Structure 1
Amino acid sequence: MATYTIAELAREFDITARAIRFYEDQGLLSPSREGVGGRNRVYTPRDRTRLKLTLRGKRLGLTLSEIKSIVDMYESPRDTVAQIDRFLGVLAHQRVTLEQQRADIEMALEEIAAHEEECRRLLADSSERRDAA
């Protein structure tokens, strides 16, 4: 069975070893330990897959607890329908959150545009008054 070092996974996924250790602290990864005092982490293909799924979940905007719940669920022998329903629920919640953030961003951009327009108008008026004087 293939194994990976923390440096290899960090390089493959373009993240820091510190991030991988953090995911381990959060219970998302559980490498075995080798070497003197168990200092060297040894990651299995299972750990690599869990890291890949964790990073994918982060890109979707999921929290680490949501990611852990989903990843753990897929490793259990539970009913697939229940797992898919749970995942659909998490995705639906995330969609609502992102759509609200998009609406908030659009509103903020409209406000910025209005302020920019007002500032340009004030500058133009000021410039016209100086030219008239």
Structure 2
Amino acid sequence: MSKNKTYKISDLATEFGITTRTIRFYEEKGLLAPKRAGSTRIYQSADRVKLKLILRGKRLGLTLDESLDIIGLYDPAHGNIDQLHQLITKCQEKRTQLQQQYSDLEVMMLDLRNAEKKYQTALAEATSSHQTKIPV
């Protein structure tokens, strides 16, 4: 892809499967700074790459600020070492967070299964003896 290639907002929206409103939101937040030709936004290759990184960060569960911090560490002259360290740290943090959420969901699923069994048993008993007491 050429470094001098330009894109219209609709080009980027189509490529990344997002709305033009999403791109304008990122522009309003100062994340993208397209040039203008009248009322037409003209995005450069660097804007496209930044948008791609923002969307990747979003998929990984990063906040916009976290994505911006990581994008700001871009330093190809020094191998992007700081950026890569930060990415690894954020991935580890998100994995830990998701693992905890997963464990919490497993506990909730077990609680729901147990409650459902208890209520089914109570319903069967109530139906057979016309009791209406619901166990807690």
Q: Which runs of 4+ in 1 moved over 3 A?
A: 75-79
Aligned residue for 1:73?
73
CA distance in 1, matches of 2:124, 2:77: 69
Cα deviations across residues 1-26 of structure 1 (Å, max 9, x unaligned)?
Answer: 22111112112211111111111222
Q: Secondary structure at the match of 1:29?
A: coil
Q: TM-score, normalised by structure 2?
A: 0.82
Task: Indicate the structure with greater helix content.
Answer: 1
Aligned residue for 1:85?
85
Aligned residue for 2:20?
17
Q: Secondary structure at the match of 1:62?
A: coil
Matches within 5 A, 1:1-133: 1-35=4-38, 39-74=39-74, 77=77, 80-130=80-130
**CA RMSD, aligned part only?**
1.8
Q: Secondary structure at the match of 2:88?
A: helix
Q: CA deviation at 1:127?
A: 2.2
Q: Secondary structure at the match of 2:5?
A: coil
Cα deviations across residues 23-82 of structure 1 (Å, max 9, x unaligned)?
Answer: 1222322211111xxx22111121111111111111111111111111121157556322
Which deviates the most, 44-53 or 68-77? 68-77
Preserved CA contact (<8 Å) 1:27 1:68: no
Q: TM-score, normalised by structure 1?
A: 0.84
Which deviates the most, 19-28 or 63-72? 19-28
Q: What is the aligned-residue identity percentage?
A: 40
- Aligned residue type for 1:83: Q
CA distance in 2, matches of 1:28, 1:116: 48
Q: Which structure is higher in RCO with an 8 Å CA cutoff and minimum separation 6? A: 1
Preserved CA contact (<8 Å) 2:9 2:41: yes
- Aligned residue type for 1:13: F
- Could you tell me which runs of 5 or more consecutive residues in structure 2 were left unpaired when the two chains were aligned: 131-136
